[in-house]
Structure 1
């Protein structure tokens, strides 16, 4: 009897590993996280200015809103000014960690940096226009890849151990 139970448990284990879509976890809707690329508060002012100049020049960011008269113009706050340029560059160039670095003066945040009439587009707004992949927070994969299957395997492993425990008691 114990040999039959053990054989059954091995079959259940391999089915749960090889067919993760059988669990409810892989059928859930994956949500997206809005991200913005912003200047770090503790970044050196000279380094921020250099990165801002690069983003608005060679980097090709849209810096019109941070020019005098623009909705995001703030001559007194280089962190806010650089944040707008960094975020625009990030949205245009692939939504990766590399496109939000600027010589380590920038970082990703889930806190909306918009203020007053200055509105920052988020990664979600770019994705909704079809220009970029989604973000999957469950997998930690900023390219929207395969995290759901990993969650499903974990759920199936829990189910496997629960069934195993039941058969050991029986």
Structure 2
């Protein structure tokens, strides 16, 4: 039988490399729901400027952060910016490049929603549509596939499994 340390090393290396490829495809954030939010250290003036752009020329639906809206909180510019940024991000297909706002925004896997103020996430992009329950109407976006479970990610796990079986069999024979 071959060196068991070598077998363990090969298995761990395969696992690490497969995990690294999976993380790269998701912009450095693990698969699952993703939101675009305002950075905690962003300047209020910069945030207000970014909100104005997102809610104006950017085309984000900012009704929920206006007076009477489910996310309206006049004293919390961070929350308002996060909602506007996230709406713009989702409406632009969840592309990482749609979450910058002059360096005042970042992607997160932590749900920024609270109480009746719910933020749509990247999983809202399934089948190319944003849920009508979130926006009141269906808006077509991006590819017509679930962005969080693409076939190439599934293939990574199949290749990992096949590689693991190969290494085990090669060391047993």
Q: By the TM > 0.5 criterion, same fold?
A: yes
Q: Structure 1 CA distance, aligned partners of 2:147 and 2:59?
A: 24
Indicate the structure (1 or 2) with the bigger Cα radius of gyration: 1
Shift of 1:67: 1.2
Counterparts of residues 1-170 of structure 1 (less than 5 Å): 33-127=32-126, 130=129, 131-132=141-142, 133-136=145-148, 144-167=150-173
- TM-score scaled to structure 2, two decimals? 0.68
Q: Structure 1 CA distance, aligned partners of 2:33 and 2:124?
A: 8
Q: Structure 2 CA distance, aligned partners of 1:81 and 1:135?
A: 26
Q: Structure 1 CA distance, aligned partners of 2:151 and 2:162?
A: 20
Q: Structure 2 CA distance, aligned partners of 1:134 and 1:42?
A: 32
**Corresponding residue of 2:21:** none
Structure 1 stretches of 4+ moved >4 Å: none
- Unaligned runs of at least 5 residues, structure 2: 1-30, 130-140
Q: Structure 2 CA distance, aligned partners of 1:150 and 1:126?
A: 22
Greater relative CO, 1 or 2 (CA 8 Å, sep 6+): 1
Superposition CA RMSD, Å: 1.9
Q: CA contact under 8 A between 1:72 and 1:118: conserved in structure 2?
A: yes
CA offsets 1:39-64 (integer angstroms, 9 cap, x no match): 11111212111111110111000111
- TM-score scaled to structure 1, two decimals? 0.69
CA offsets 1:59-111 (integer angstroms, 9 cap, x no match): 00011111122221111111000011111111111101111111121112222
Q: 1:93 to 1:146 in 2, by over 3 A?
A: same
Count of equivalent residues:
130
Q: Structure 1 CA distance, aligned partners of 2:64 and 2:148?
A: 30
